[in-house]
Amino acid sequence: MSAPRRPAVAPALDLAALVEDRETRIIVCCGSGGVGKTTTSAALALAAAEAGREVVVLTIDPARRLAQSLGLVELDNEPRLVETPGAAGELHAMMLDMKRTFDDVVSAHSTPERAQVIFENPFYQALSSSFGGTQEYMAMEKLGQLRASDRWDLVIVDTPPSRSALDFLDAPNRLSRFLDGTMIRLLTAPARAGGRAGVRLVGAGFSLFSRIISKILGGQLLNDISAFVSALDTMFGGFRERADATYQLLRQPGTSFVVVAAPEPDALREASYFVDRLSTEGMPLAGLVLNRTHPPATTALSATRAEAAAEAVAEAGGPGSQLAAGALRVHADRMTVAAREQRLADRFTSAHPEVPIRAVPAAAGDVHDLDGLRLMGEALLAAEADTGTGTPRSRVLPLRPTAG
């Protein structure tokens, strides 16, 4: 038996320093779906604007009421100024329209006549509106555009709601590899000069495949793809180059990733994969936002003791005893939840001891207006030790409980 190891203590994540640093030009908020990425991005953006930055936040799929509160009612795929009275800087917000962004890429690299041919291609229509990976690709594309514009000195991006946080990094490449890929070239070969030789090279297996594909998917689809790919070829040097260029943006100095996770096993597992991936790619990670935690207002009474006290109070009776017993049960529950959340956070930290953490307590309701965002922004940026409960903001429970 080995002695129990002292758990690693996560460093504190200083988001105030991150957004105030003029060198920070891009912040990417990522994480698995349903952890509050959009709200975190918007709250961070508002806080940055209040700290004097000229900020644009690119949201992907905001909840309706949050979108309204940011003035995102018109879907014109362009940033809109958000009224933030008293802010030293400016906040702009936009919601990604992936089809529009794709159309713009096509228009920008083509003559109006050629663009029209592409727009009318049924495969392009499917690709630009529902293809897996298009949303991620276009989010990166838009990020590149916003960064290239001198209008803003900080771009904050929310990432598309996918099951895996890694999709944001992988999908654009997957898509471009697919569009530039051998398979699609071979498949569309009959429409291209010299294509036949290629088909002969790969042999009978392929022609069988080609036959099946056209039998199942229909010959028309293959023709559409073929026409689309040759139209693209004349347009620019292929999708892969373009995706690569945008991908490189994420490696530039001035880019920071903020990984968002809820204190749940699945979300933290995803966060863990993502953190590993960022470090392999040499992409700078600012830290982990542990969103919607439940830190108790006091830790002077453990769950077990609170439970026992609730019984004692209820038995003693008298005015207010039911209410006090209820409050003690609320606290017992809260301590149990907090202990579970802290355990999950500790597990993450033991795998990634170097990753700074900021825990953000759950709001009582959904965040759907500027006031809600401002409160969340405060929880994101406030000083590590200012909670007044003895629990630092990097944790859900203090390092050493003050009572057993």
Partner 1 sequence: MTGKGGTGKTTVAAALALSLAADGRHVLLVETEGRQGIAQLFDTPPLPYEERRVAVARGGGEVKALAIDVEAAFLEYLDMFYNLKRAGRALRKMGAVDFATAIAPGLRDVLLTGKIKEAVTRRHDGRPVYDAVVVDAPPTGRITRFLNVTNEVAGLARSGPIKAQSDGVMAVFRSPLTAVHLVTLLEDMPVQETADAIAELTAAQLPVGSVIVNMATEPLLPAASIARTAEGRLTATDLLPALTAAQVPAASEVAEGLAAEAVEHARRWVAQDALRGKVEALGRPVVELPLSSSPIDLGCLFELAERLDGHLRTEAAA
Contact positions toward partner 1, by CB under 8 A? 33-34, 63-65, 122-123, 126, 130-132, 161, 163, 178, 183-184, 205-206, 208-209, 212-213, 215-218, 221, 225, 296-298, 300-301, 305, 309, 312-313, 315-316, 318-331, 333-334, 336, 364-366, 368, 389, 403
The residue (of 72 and 285) whose beta carbon lies closer to partner 1 is 72
CB 45 → partner 1: shortest distance, Å?
20
The four Cα atoms 291, 295, 297, 301 give a dihedral, to 10 degrees, of 170
Between residues 255 and 291, which has the closer beta carbon with respect to partner 1? 291
Sign of CA dihedral 127, 72, 246, 276: negative
Q: Which tokens in the block code for residue 189?
A: 């070969």
Q: Which is nearer to partner 1, 149 or 322 (CB)?
A: 322
CA 235 – CA 133 distance, rounded (Å): 21
The minimum distance between CB 262 and partner 1, in angstroms, equals 8
| Smallest gap from residue 85 Cβ to partner 1 (A) | 26
Contact present, 143 and 157 (Cβ < 8 Å)? yes
154/306 with CB nearer partner 1? 306
For the packed helices 112-120 and 219-235, what is the interaxial angle rounded to 10 degrees?
160
Q: Which is nearer to partner 1, 253 or 365 (CB)?
A: 365
Kind and range of the H or E run holding 81: strand 80-82
The least CB distance from residue 125 to partner 1, in Å, is: 10
CB of residue 20 to partner 1, shortest distance in Å: 30
Residue placing its CB nearer to partner 1 in the complex, 76 or 366: 366
Output the smallest distance, CB 301 to partner 1, in A: 5
Burial 183-202 (b: 16+ CB within 10 A, else e): ebbbbbbeeeeebeeebeee
Position 199: which residue type?
V
Tell me the closest approach of the beta carbon of residue 274 to partner 1, in angstroms: 17
Give Cα separations from 305 to 186, 312, 329 (angstroms): 71, 10, 10
For 288, phi and psi rounded to 5 degrees? -110, 130
H/E segment holding residue 257: strand 255-261
User: CB-wise, 36 or 377, nearer to partner 1?
Assistant: 36
